[in-house]
Amino acid sequence: MENKKELRNWLDDFGLSHPLVIAGPCSAETEEQVLTIAHQLKDSDATVLRAGIWKPRTRPGNFEGVGALGLKWLKKAKEETGMLTTTEVANPTHVDLALENDVDILWIGARTTVSPFIVQEIADALKGTDKIVLVKNPVNPDLSLWLGAVERLHTADISKLGVIHRGFSAYEKTGYRNNPEWQIPIELQNKFPDLPLILDPSHIAGRRDIIFDLCQTALDLNYDGIMVETHHTPDKAWSDAAQQITPETLIKIMQDLKVRKEISASEEFQNKLENLRSKIDITDSQILEILAKRMKIAEEIGKVKKDQNVAILQTKRWNEILGKMVLEGESKGLSEEFVLRMFKAIHQESINHQQKILDGIETSR
């Protein structure tokens, strides 16, 4: 996919003085519920009303959406409030029904993004339309899969595209419902800076108390907007109650968020920034030097283990290192999550180096 400026034209056409805000309930439950929320949002910064019509649940038996009936409620909300509307589509039938009911923006969910076959079917169903299509990241941390879905849509001549960062599943429990893995959307942003990037803090958080912090982080990283699940009585919501906020809370969040400038023309700012960036560059080089030295030591350990016919993985020693490093990291202001992630990567690279030593010795025999 070429990095084309027109990718973000649809967003620029909105002429907003603030980040794009998409808000509304996780699920459309009743006509009254949809209309009540829409009217409470119409005087906020929210430009687009969202609501799930079809809800793909992890396991059957939970509320799976009201279906096509809910599209009529969205259409009525649009007529009464003037807000644009958006909903998730997971197959060509959903696309056809959404188009029939004049839904303005369609989004492709995380479970759909993982399937190139389904994404292609949706792209084919949308070919020739002028709709805005947003693609949520796949469930697993796979940038190529995410970009592949966007490329399939772009190849189908859908030019109004954007992506939604909703976090990624993780094997180990973290403080989030879905781990942010900020480095992945940052890499996407670096590759395609003109592809609008929107945060879904609700699905990352899984709870409402950290919605603000996630939104602020996104704006600090130059995201273009947020999609927040909003319900007039969130504790009574039929799905994902814990992560939804009230329209009043959303209004307060938007008032408190700080939108950063992308750059400053101040000469003093530029000089300070360049000086600090130079220090970062030097420190990064030092980190690589230290890591290289560590791997050389790991190779020496590999030789010693081979001579004594000892297994590479020493679980007790590894757990001791992890525990020690977490404590030292915390004393230096580093989060446990970061320290664990970093040392697991270092440990894996050390194992790889030791394995190469063993393989080399075995091959030479």
Q: What is the pLDDT of residues 14-26, one digit of tens each?
A: 999 899 999 999 9
pLDDT of residue 162: 97
Does residue 22 sit in helix, strand or coil? Answer: strand
Please, what's the b/e burial string for 138-154 (b: 16 or more CB within 10 A of its CB; e: otherwise)? bbebebebbbbbbbbbb
Residues paired with residue 24 on neighbouring β-strands, in sequence order = 229
Cα 241 from chain centre: 20
Query: Is pLDDT above 80 for 57?
Result: no
Q: Is 107 helix (H, G, I), strand (E, B) or coil?
A: strand
CB–CB of 25/229 below 8 Å? yes
Distance in Å from the first CA to the final CA of the chain: 49
Provide the pLDDT for residue 364.
37
Q: Which domains does the chain have, with CATH numbers?
A: 5-256 (3.20.20.70), 267-364 (1.20.59.10)
Mean pLDDT of 313-324: 90
Beta strands per DSSP E along 213-365: 225-229
> Cβ contacts of residue 138 below 8 Å, gap of 6+?
110, 113, 114, 145, 146, 149, 168
Burial class (CB in 10 A: 0-12, 13-18, 19+), 291: middle
Res. 61: pLDDT tops 70: no
Confidence of residue 4 (pLDDT cuts 50, 70, 90): low
- Token pair of 94 as six digits: 């959903």
Q: What is the pLDDT of residue 267?
A: 85
Q: What is the mean pLDDT of residues 335-350?
A: 92
| CA dist., res. 253 & res. 295, Å (int) | 46
Mean pLDDT within 160-166: 97
Q: Is the pLDDT of residue 177 over 60?
A: yes
Q: How confident is the model at residue 202 (pLDDT cuts 50, 70, 90)?
A: very high
Stronger pLDDT, 244 or 259, i.e. the higher one: 244
Q: Kindly report, residue by residue over 78-127, the tens digit of the pLDDT.
A: 999 999 999 999 999 999 999 999 999 999 999 999 999 999 999 999 99
In 3D space, the residue among 157, 161, 149 whose CA is nearest the CA of residue 126 turns out to be 157
Tell me how crowded residue 351 is: count the other CB atoms within 10 A of its CB: 15
CB 350 within 8 Å of CB 294: yes
Q: State whether the Cα torsion 308-311-317-318 is positive or negative.
A: positive
Mean pLDDT of the chain: 91
- Write down the pTM of the prediction: 0.81
State which of 90-94, 259-263, 265-269 shows the largest mean pLDDT: 90-94
- Residues 333-356 have a mean pLDDT of 92
Report whether pLDDT(216) > 50.
yes
Q: Which of 54-63, 287-296, 322-331, 339-348 has the lowest mean pLDDT?
A: 54-63
Q: Length of the chain, please?
A: 365
Looking at the predicted structure, is the pLDDT value of residue 363 above 50?
no
**pLDDT recorded at residue 1:** 60
Q: Is the pLDDT of residue 206 over 60?
A: yes
Residue 198 has pLDDT above 90, yes or no: yes
Contacts of 202 (CB under 8 A, 6+ apart): 26, 211, 227, 228, 229, 240, 243, 244
pLDDT of residue 365: 32
Residue 134 β-bridge partners: 107, 162
For the record, the structure tokens of 286 come out as: 């030092």
DSSP 222: T
Q: Are 63 and 27 in contact (CB under 8 A)?
A: yes
Q: Look at residue 58 in the predicted model and tell me its pLDDT.
A: 65
Q: Give the pLDDT confidence of 123-152 residue by residue, as tens digits.
A: 999 999 999 999 999 999 999 999 999 999
Q: Stretch 35-64: mean pLDDT, rounded?
A: 88
pLDDT at 63: 78
